[in-house]
């Protein structure tokens, strides 16, 4: 039996299966996985995640009780749940990614969506089943009075379900996303909104990345549940139970990141990029191709910058790395197409025989991203809304001279805002001006800000972030 358990939708590894049935394992992606992977190999910590693909299901079926580590994979203690594909699809794509993600990132095109009918009721049932499968697995694996750390919007119902099964456990939930204000959160059907809030309140400790998202959650509990909320003491009391609310601003492990970014594969990518762009100044962005990342407005801002500043033509290149994400959802496929269209328009309008103003890369390439960080003069991070945004924190660790242009709607703004050039993500003219200001910033100021940014970005590395939440359950 285990004394510390973690549960998340995506796990530390994923598998692909070739036509002849051979499984290949690779590291899982995204902020949650990067945060947790570094801290999870400790003895006694079991990670429970879902099988996301046919490759994952193939691997689970060959592993005793879904324990991949016991099937010989070097994953740390890991149990992967083989949830029926149709249930998983409705829970992950329809509810978690198309509903809860949209609500908390304020992404709906309100005149047309959301629309909650009988189809959604079936999807919601699947979300319940999927959360129930996690609760059951956790109840099976947890030792007496074990501490359980449930992650993110995929698993909002699991804490309350688990508490009903195992009242002896100490349970935490952590949200890696923003939280919506009550007037937007209440777009959800009333009973669904209630279930989500009460699900998280099943935990003893509910963690958020910033005070702003914690405050929004507490506002929702008060407005929608009539819960008793202490904003200063950060507690929510509902139906006789009190949940403590914590703010844990996940940062980066500066040393590990720096070492990884100085390995030979990164050095060779740097040489290749330098060869491609010459000695031109570089504006870099690195994102999943995700609606909330605001890539199209970022490109439009770059276009406005080029229009306003012809003196930079031929002297600057925008490296935009936009890696594939959630391609099962039509909105994401359409968004990727818009990004590509917009990039092509900029190329057509400004490109010359010896100057490529924009290089868009849509293939996942980690060493190349690390190389781009190291070469950046400006790092553009302009999300519509973001839980934290680890790119904004990785950049200052790796870029010896980059200035950060940062959206005020990113969670990272709470810690980095004072040392970055802040922008309203909808104001592309303002963003274009910030890009120019960043490029012409005097060397001394650029270095001073970078040092402050690096200190803030590494203040709470994953190990400490995790330990603080475990301590909160002690
Ligand atoms: O921001 C929340 C989060 O879980 C991140 O950890 C991660 O970047 C992203 O969402 C993962 O999305 P997905 O697992 O759907 O690719």
The whole-model pTM stands at 0.97
Pairing of strands 23-27, 13-17: antiparallel
Tokens representing 89 are: 């699809």
How far apart are the C-alpha atoms of 55 and 457, rounded to whole Å?
35
CA 315 to chain centre: 33
Q: In terms of residues, how long is the chain? A: 474
The pLDDT tens digits for 432-474 are: 999 999 999 999 999 999 999 999 999 999 999 999 999 999 8
Residues with CB under 6 A from ligand 1: 10, 30-32, 97, 152, 176-177, 325-326, 387
Distance 290 CA to ligand 1 centre (A): 10
Question: How far apart (Å, rounded) are the C-alpha atoms in residues 70 and 27?
Answer: 18
What separation in Å is there between the alpha carbon of 32 and the centre of ligand 1?
A: 6
Q: Whose CA is nearest to atom 4 of ligand 1?
A: 32
> Which atom, in ligand 1's list, is nearest to the CA of 33?
6
Q: Which residue has the higher pLDDT, 157 or 365?
A: 157
Do residues 45 and 76 touch, judged by C-beta distance below 8 A? yes
**C-alpha to C-alpha distance for 82 and 55, rounded to whole angstroms:** 11
Nearest CA to ligand 1 atom 9: 30
Instruction: Report the pLDDT value the prediction gives residue 42, as an integer from 0 to 100.
Output: 66
Mutational test site, ligand 1, from 13, 14, 29, 30, max ligand atoms within 8 Å of CB: 30
Give distance in angstroms: CA of 268 to centre of ligand 1: 29
Taking the C-alpha atoms of residue 245 and residue 206, their distance in angstroms, rounded to an integer, is 5
Paired tokens of 1: 């039996």
pLDDT over 90 at 34, yes or no = no
Nearest protein Cα to ligand 1, atom 10: 30
How many angstroms separate the CA atoms of 355 and 432, rounded? Answer: 20
Residue 30 binned pLDDT confidence (cut-offs 50, 70, 90): confident
Q: Which of 9, 10, 384, 389 to mutate to test the pocket of ligand 1 (most atoms within 8 A of CB)?
A: 10
Residue with CA closest to ligand 1 atom 15: 326
- Residue 43's pLDDT band, with cuts at 50, 70 and 90, is low
**182 phi, psi to nearest 5 deg:** -55, -40
> Mean pLDDT score of the chain, rounded to an integer?
96
What mean pLDDT is predicted for residues 185-209?
98
Mutate to test the pocket of ligand 1, among 12, 14, 32 (most ligand atoms within 8 A of CB): 32
Across the range 332-338, mean pLDDT stands at 96
Residue 202 CA, chain-centre distance (Å), reads 24
Q: Each residue of 347-376: b (16+ CB within 10 Å) or e?
A: eeebeeeeeebbbbeeeeebbbbbbbbbbb
Question: What is the rounded CA–CA span in Å between residue 286 and residue 398?
Answer: 13
Q: Which residue would you say has higher pLDDT here, 34 or 386?
A: 386
- Asked whether the beta carbons of 165 and 139 are under 8 A apart, the reply is yes
Q: Which domains does the chain have, with CATH numbers?
A: 2-250+463-472 (3.40.50.2000), 254-457 (3.40.50.2000)
Pocket test for ligand 1, best of 105, 156, 176 (most atoms within 8 A of CB): 176
pLDDT at 367 over 80: yes
Expressed in angstroms and rounded, the spacing between residue 62 Cα and the centre of ligand 1 is 27
Residue 91 has pLDDT above 80, yes or no: yes
Omega before residue 114 within 30° of 0, cis: yes
36 pLDDT above the threshold of 90: no
Cβ count near 164 (within 10 Å):
11
Instruction: Encode pLDDT of 286-302 as tens digits.
Output: 999 999 999 999 999 99
pLDDT in tens, 105-136: 999 999 999 999 999 999 999 999 999 999 99
Mean per-residue pLDDT, 27-46? 79
According to DSSP, the β-strands at 2-7 and 45-50 are: parallel
Residue carrying structure tokens 């959301």: 114
């Amino acid at each position: 039996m285990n004394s510390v358990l973690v549960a998340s939708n995506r796990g530390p590894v994923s598998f692909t299966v070739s036509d002849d049935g051979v499984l290949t394992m690779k590291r899982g992606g995204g902020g949650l996985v990067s945060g947790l992977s570094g801290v999870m190999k400790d003895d006694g910590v079991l990670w429970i995640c879902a099988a996301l693909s046919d490759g994952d299901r193939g691997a689970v079926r060959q592993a005793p009780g879904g324990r991949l580590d016991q099937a010989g994979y070097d994953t740390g203690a890991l149990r992967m749940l083989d949830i029926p594909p149709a249930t998983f699809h409705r829970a992950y794509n329809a509810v978690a990614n198309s509903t809860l993600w949209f609500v908390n990132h304020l992404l709906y095109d309100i005149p047309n969506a959301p629309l909650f009918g009988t189809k959604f009721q079936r999807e919601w049932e699947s979300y319940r089943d999927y959360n129930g499968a996690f609760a059951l697995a956790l109840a099976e694996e947890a030792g007496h009075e074990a501490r359980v750390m449930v992650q993110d919007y995929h698993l909002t119902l699991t804490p309350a379900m688990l508490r009903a099964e195992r009242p002896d456990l100490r349970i935490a939930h952590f949200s890696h996303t923003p939280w919506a204000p009550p007037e937007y959160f209440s777009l959800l059907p009333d009973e669904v909104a209630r279930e989500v809030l009460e699900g998280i309140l099943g935990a003893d400790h509910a963690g958020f990345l910033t005070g702003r998202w914690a405050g929004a959650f507490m506002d929702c509990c008060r407005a929608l549940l009539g819960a008793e909320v202490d904003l200063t003491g950060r507690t929510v009391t509902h139906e006789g139970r009190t949940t403590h609310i914590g703010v844990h601003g996940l940062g980066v492990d500066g040393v590990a990141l720096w070492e990884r970014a100085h390995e030979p594969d990164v050095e060779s990518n740097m040489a290749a990029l330098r060869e491609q762009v010459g000695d031109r100044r570089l504006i870099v962005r690195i994102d999943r191709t995700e609606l909330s990342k605001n890539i199209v407005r970022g490109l439009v801002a770059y276009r406005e910058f080029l229009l306003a500043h012809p003196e930079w033509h031929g002297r600057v290149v925008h490296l935009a790395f936009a890696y594939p994400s959630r391609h099962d959802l039509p909105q994401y496929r359409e968004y990727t197409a818009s990004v590509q269209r917009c990039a092509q328009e900029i190329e057509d309008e400004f490109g010359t025989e010896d100057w490529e103003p924009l290089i868009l890369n849509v293939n996942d390439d980690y060493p190349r991203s690390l190389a781009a960080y190291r070469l950046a003069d400006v790092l553009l991070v302009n999300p519509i809304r973001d839980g934290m945004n680890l790119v904004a924190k990785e950049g200052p660790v790796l870029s010896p001279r980059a200035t950060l242009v940062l959206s005020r709607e990113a969670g990272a703004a709470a810690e980095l805002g004072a040392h970055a050039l802040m922008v309203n993500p909808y104001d592309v003219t303002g963003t274009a001006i910030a890009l120019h200001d960043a490029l012409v910033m005097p060397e001394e100021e650029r270095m001073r800000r970078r040092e402050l940014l690096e200190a803030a970005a590494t203040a709470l590395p994953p190990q400490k972030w995790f330990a603080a939440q475990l301590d909160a359950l002690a």
